[in-house]
Every structure is written in structure tokens, then in C-alpha cells.
Structure 1
Amino acid sequence: MKRFTVSVVQFESTLGPADDGTLDRMTDAIAAADADLVVFPELATTGYHVFDDLPEVAEPVPGPTTEALGTAAADADVEVLFGMPVQDGDDVYNSAVWLDGDGDVRARYDKRHCWGDERAVYAVGDEYAVVDAPFGRVGVQICYDLNFPAASLALARAECDVVINVSAWSHTMERDWHTLLPARAVEQGAYVVGCNRAGTEAGNTFCGHSTVIEPDGTTVVELGTGPGQVAVTLDPGVVAAERERNPMRRDRPATDADATRQ
């Protein structure tokens, strides 16, 4: 891992197609970021509650949205990670897309753990995503993935230095957000970046509180409930020191044993 700066955008999306002005606001946020990586929340391009409109708002990758945001990424020479609904053949996925500094699609992660009504409209991904970025190895999660230790374990075994969770975490589940982010950092021995939505859609209020957590569970920065953008520099020395203090990665068995019925 190299020292790098991540710009976390706690975004309030507009419900509807990405070209309804949302892309313009995302492009402005990319241009404003003095960072190596800019992160937006889950389904940032369309808003979360687009279940009935997925045939109209989902796009292929590459496609118009990745082209527009790719141009912004290339102009700013910055990597970008954001959530969008992706049309892939007959299936639609709740996906996170990574654009590199040239504006090209570097990776796509399809959410593996769908929440509630998502299960009726989205296909489920079949593998976890790790990006070998210029500054280090980054694991990518989406929202509800945060609840599952096996997802975190997979990224730890892939030797990720940073885990990023792009989310549309609701106000009613806020306690879980504050509990799980530091827990995942400690068990990972990695930085954890939680980039969440702001605002209210269809009667559902998102809790905000996008947060950057050090590998020992310490909060580096935490936004409030409204839209905002903050840049944080991540230090490889912090990661190395924590893995020396708490050598979980070294001591974790290659295969965890199943519980024995008694």
C-alpha cells in the first residue's frame, strides 16, 4: 500500500435516470476532489428506490454513465468508485463500478447480499471484488455485505489494505452501521471506508454518517446526516503498525473449522 487520499462523497441522489442532472453533480464532485480516489454511495446514479423503473434506468457497462463519469475521471486524473444498476443480458445487478485515472472501467462488483425488496429485482453476484489500484489492494462491498463476516474474511484473505463499502444505509439501521464498520476494520487489519447516502426517498431516510475507520477501529472522520464531501489521507504505516500490534491476519487459520454439534 502507498499513502493516498480518498474523497468520500455523501451524495443525495435524484430518483430517475442518471442523465437527469445527477451525472452533472457527480462530475462536479469529481472535479472538486483533491484526491487519488473519489467514492460515491450505492446506486448513486439513479437513487435507491428505482425498483419499478429498472428497465428504464439500468445501463450496460461500459455505457453512457461510465462514459460520462470516465471523462470526468480522466480530466481529473483520479480513480472513481460509484454505485449504479447494471443491465447485463437479461439480468440487472446492483453494482459498484471502478473507473481508473484514464476513465476506463477497471472493475465491476455485483452485490452478493441483497436486502429486502432487492431480492425480487436484482440478480446476485457470484464473487467478491478486489481492485489492485495504483495505491494498494482495495476490497469493494455494497451496503448489506457489511453484515456478513464471511465477506470480510474473503477480502482479508485477498490481502486487502482498504475495504470500501458503498451504501444506502437507512436511519432505522443506523446503530448497525456504527457497530459493523469498526468491527470489520479490526477483523480485517485494514482501513474501512463507509460511503453512505444522504436524504430521503419514498419515505425512507438514509442515515448518512459516512465514515473512515483505521485498522484498530478508530474513527478518522465522520460526516453528519446531510450531503457532504471529505478527503482523508490513508497511511500505510498505520496499517503496518496495527498488523504488528494485532496479528490476526498472520494467526487466522487457512480454513476455519466448522462448529461441532454436541
Structure 2
Amino acid sequence: MDVMIAVVQFAVAQARPEENLEKMRRFVATAAASRADMVVFPEDFVTGPLCGDATLADYDGCYRAYFQQLASEYTIDIVAGSIIEGDQDGLLYNTAYYIDKAGNVRGRYRKVNLWLSERSYLTPGNEVVAFDTDYGRVGLIICWDLIFPEIFREMMRRGVELVLCPSYWCVEDAGVGLTHDPNSEVKLVDALCVARAFENEVVLVYANAANNSSAQHETLIGRSQIAAPFRGALQRLGHAREEMFLQKVETTLLKDAETAYEIRKDVLERPGFLFRA
């Protein structure tokens, strides 16, 4: 099956949700006019990282409702990056939604593997999600989840073909590693995206946030991309500026990957073979 995917490397206006949502609308309109089937946004794209400030967290589902309205209005599937949502117990979650072109929520994912700075105020999710769409079986992850192969293996067991990864990945995430190589995080993300696609026989869509002109204490790496088995990065932004790109993806190549490598077969039929004495 062919699917046209729009990936938005979005420059987030920190703590200005109205501004970000209006810009989101413009990107959605452009993607729909370009005949994209789905559009994917980055992590924290509505408010920016809250850094413990819960005043902009969504407790009423208003952002989700906005995404649903946009998807229906423009007849396009929306992967609504991620937002910080609160529940009735006051817990905060980093949450991503997949909303189809009719405005229906097909999947909701709460980030399982929180980044170091998130752990003081966010609650980790505890579920891997896999769900059906018009373009195949989809799984959602968020940013730092990319580093953990276990979540990909579980998605593989559930038949996922397309993995969507909203992200807010920064140069400074390397910490002291920057003394070894200032491009450490760029190399890490580029390697992970391609490796995860190959080793799990999936198409991986990685949508990172972009730098903007306002002063920031962190520098985003950009590098939004789509990767697939055999072909590696189908398209990759080699910068951290705001930009949207479109890429047609042929998911039929995943069957060829399974024929060539039989990784999915091994995972399903011999789940513990790597750990036997």
C-alpha cells in the first residue's frame, strides 16, 4: 500500500499554545492541499516542554478535540505530536494521539520511557499501543522511547508496520558526551532511525521539533526523517530549521524485508532464542 506522509519539523513557541495551534492549522491545510494522507507533528509542539509547570497541561481534552476537528475539516489523518495531559488524579502524562480523517481517535499513547528531566513531574505510561488504520497497523512512540529496542519488539509481535515517533531531541541531551563529539545526538538519532526500521521490518517516521529565533537554553537537532528496510532514510532533513516535507511510502517493501530476513518470523516463533544458554 502507498501512503503519502507529511512530516512537520515544527518550531515551537514556548508557552504560547494559541500561536502553535494556529500554525498547526496552516501546516495541516498545506499538507491536505498537497494530497498527503497523514501529517505528523513533534513532541510538546503545543506548549513546549512544561518543565514541571502544570498550568498549561490539558485536563479537559480540549487539544484532542481541536485535533479531531482539524482532521475532519481537512480530511487528513493527524498524528498530533504529543501534549501534556492531566488525569482526574492530578497525574501528568506525555501523550500522543493518532486521529483519522473522520476525526476518530484510532490510538492514544502515553510515553513509557521518560527523558531525565521529565521524571520529576510526569508519570510514565505502561502500555505499548498498536492499532489499525487505513494505511496498515500503526504503533506510536515518543522521543526517548527510540533508544529502547524492547518496545519495538513488542510492537512487532502485535503486527505493527508503521511506527510514528514525535520527538523533541536536543544537542545538549548528550551532556558530557559533547566533549567527545558535538554531533553526538545527530549521529545517535540518524543511526537509531535506520537501525530500528531494518531490525524490526517497519517504516519509521521521526518528527523532531525545530529551532526558532527566540532564545532557548537547548538546541534542537532537527533531523526529521522517514526510514525503511533496504532503503534506509527515504528522506531526511539535514538541518534544524522549520520545514515540512512529503514522502510517499510503499509499505509493500516490508513483505520483501520479511522474505529476505525473516526477523519477524524469528521473533514470533522463537521469542527467547537469544537468551538460551
TM-score by length of 1: 0.92
Three-state SS of the structure 1 residue aligned to 2:71 is helix
Q: Distance in 1 between matches of 2:191 and 2:247?
A: 21
CA drift at 1:149: 0.8
Question: Could you tell me the percent identity over the aligned residues?
Answer: 26
Counterpart of 1:181 in structure 2 is 193
CA contact (8 A) 1:192 1:215 kept: no
Tell me the residue number matched to 2:245: 230
1:165 aligned partner: 165
Partners of 1:170 and 1:217 in 2: how far apart? 26
Q: Matched residues in 2 for 1:260 and 1:104: separation?
A: 44
Q: Secondary structure at the match of 2:119?
A: helix
Q: Distance in 1 between matches of 2:234 and 2:114?
A: 29
Aligned 8 A contact 1:182 1:216 in 2: no
Is 1:239 paired with 2:254?
yes
Q: CA 1:242 to 1:205, structure 2 compared with 1: closer, same or farther past 3 Å?
A: same
Tell me the equivalent position of 2:82. Answer: 83
Match among 160, 183, 203 for residue 191 of structure 1: 203
Residues 137, 161 of structure 1: 8 Å contact kept: yes
Q: CA separation in 1, counterparts of 2:57 and 2:118? A: 14
Looking at structure 1, the residues matched to 217 and 115 of structure 2 have their Cα atoms a distance apart, in angstroms, of: 17
* Superposed CA offset, 1:201-254 (max 9, x none): 641011001011012351110112201101111112221222211111112244
The equivalent residue for 2:181 is none
CA distance in 1, matches of 2:51, 2:270: 40
Distance 2:199 2:137 in 1: 17
Unaligned runs of 5+ in 1: none
- 2:203·2:251 contact (CA, 8 Å) conserved in 1? no
Equivalenced residue count is 256
Instruction: State the alpha-carbon separation in 2 of the partners of residues 88 and 168 from structure 1.
Output: 23
RMSD of Structure 2 on Structure 1 (CA): 1.8
Q: Which residue of structure 1 aligns with residue 8 of structure 2?
A: 9
Picking from 189, 212, 220, the partner of 1:206 is 220
Displacement of 1:192 in angstroms is 0.8
Report the residue type matching 1:241 in the other structure.
Answer: D
Gaps of 5+ in 2: 173-184
Q: Report the Cα distance in structure 2 between the residues aligned to 1:255 and 1:218, rounded to whole angstroms.
A: 26
Superposed, 1:142-161 pairs within 5 Å as 142-161=142-161
Q: For 2:108, what is the secondary structure of its paired residue?
A: strand
- The one-letter code of the counterpart of 1:26 is M
2:272 to 250, 256, 262: 256
Alignment of 1:98-113 (within 5 A): 98-113=98-113
The equivalent position to 2:66 in structure 1, one of 58, 68, 79, is 68
Q: Give, in whole Å, the separation in 2 of the partners of 1:135 and 1:170.
A: 31
Equivalent-residue separation in structure 2 for 1:13 and 1:131 (angstroms): 28
2:25 partner SS: helix
The CA deviation at 1:258 is: 7.2
Matched, 1:95 2:95: yes
Q: Which residue of 2 aligns with 1:38?
A: 39
Label 1:124 to 1:203 Cα distance change in 2 as closer, same or farther (>3 A). Answer: same
Q: Is the 8 A contact 1:23 1:69 kept in 2?
A: no
Distance in 1 separating the partners of 2:240 and 2:10:
10
Residues in 2 aligned to 1:185 and 1:258: alpha-carbon distance in whole angstroms: 20
* 1:135 positional shift: 1.2
Match of 1:65, SS?
helix
Would the aligned equivalents of 1:30 and 1:76 in 2 still touch at CA under 8 Å? yes
Return the offset for 1:152: 0.9
Residue 105 of structure 1: CA displacement? 2.7
